[in-house]
Amino acid sequence: MRRINKIIVHCSATPEGRNVLISEVKRWHVEERGWSDIGYHFVIELDGSVRIGRPIEIKGAHSKGNNHDSIGVCYIGGVDLDMKSKDTRTECQKESLVNLLTDLKDTYGGQVFGHRDFSDKDCPSFDARHQYENISFRY
């Protein structure tokens, strides 16, 4: 099993309220970018549904230089209708993110980051490292 040190939160950079399914994100990555699979391990849709993307055992393609020891989690949204960065998470997405991140930390350990902590992008349009710094293991 890969050693996991980071759980990296992303946004899809799709407009607020636009219902994008994991199948569309996978199409972007496979058909448009030519990747072998979706880059994220999990995608959280607008209704809070957590969808499995790339298997965790396989290195992701979501954060250059950090894929070897991380899990990529993407929520749908992240920009307003003018394509400007905005935290567009629905209440269902917020709840699902907390639950998923807690479960991942329980299982794999690591620290939660936002993609912005490793790139010049504003992704995921909020400070994930700060917001989720108190997520800890459940015993």
pLDDT tens by residue, the chain, 139 residues: 689 999 999 999 999 999 999 999 999 999 999 999 999 999 999 999 999 999 999 999 999 999 999 999 999 999 999 999 999 999 999 999 999 999 999 999 999 999 999 999 999 999 999 999 988 655 4
Rounded to the nearest 10°, the torsion over CA 14, 83, 72, 122 is: -170
By annotation, the residues acting in catalysis are: 10, 40, 115, 121, 123
For residue 128, report the phi and psi dihedrals to the nearest 5 degrees.
Answer: -65, -40
What is the value of pTM for the model shown? 0.95
CA-based nearest residue to 53, from 31, 28, 76, 26: 26
Q: What is the CATH number of domain 6-131?
A: 3.40.80.10
